[in-house]
Amino acid sequence: MWAAVAAAGRDIEQIVSFWADDAIVIPPGHGAIVGKNAIREYVTTSLKIPGFRIQWKTNRFTIAKACDLAYGIGTNEVSFDGGNGSRVTSRGNVASRPRASGPTLSSSADRDRDRCGSNVNE
């Protein structure tokens, strides 16, 4: 859900709300962006780029047997309009860990719903 909001939306606060205060984002070709305020600045700047688009795809989502740790592994793609009508695209890898207090772990975690109870929601 959060990737769709980020990819389609222009509501910066809604997009940034999916990251924890101490999140670290490493966009393709950039150094680490640390903390929600720095991420907000990155998102704000990115959305001003003509044709900016970002996509994420989770390829694997794992939940520990004790249901106390979860992480996702996937890919991302950032693209924008380049000069002379060309499109610039950069691809990278993603590792994410849901907030421990957050309401969801992953929609792909349905198989773990019975085992982990309310810790696994869509």
- Number of structural domains, the chain? 1
14 pLDDT above the threshold of 50:
yes
Residue percentage of the chain with pLDDT more than 90: 10
CA–CA distance, 74 with 57 (Å, rounded to integer): 5
- Interstrand relation of 53-63 and 33-34 (parallel, antiparallel or unpaired): unpaired
Position 120 in a domain:
no
What pLDDT score does 110 carry?
Answer: 43
Position 46 in a domain:
yes
38 pLDDT above the threshold of 80:
yes
Position 121 in a domain:
no
Confidence band of 106 (pLDDT split at 50, 70, 90) = very low
Write out the residue range of the structural domain in which residue 97 sits: 2-115
- The answer to pTM > 0.75 is no
Check which CATH number belongs to the domain holding 52 and give it: 3.10.450.50
Position 7 in a domain:
yes
DSSP 56-108: EEEEEEEE-TTSS-EEEEEEEEEEEE-GGG-EEEEEEEEEE---TTSS-S-GG
* One-letter amino acid for residue 49 of the chain: I
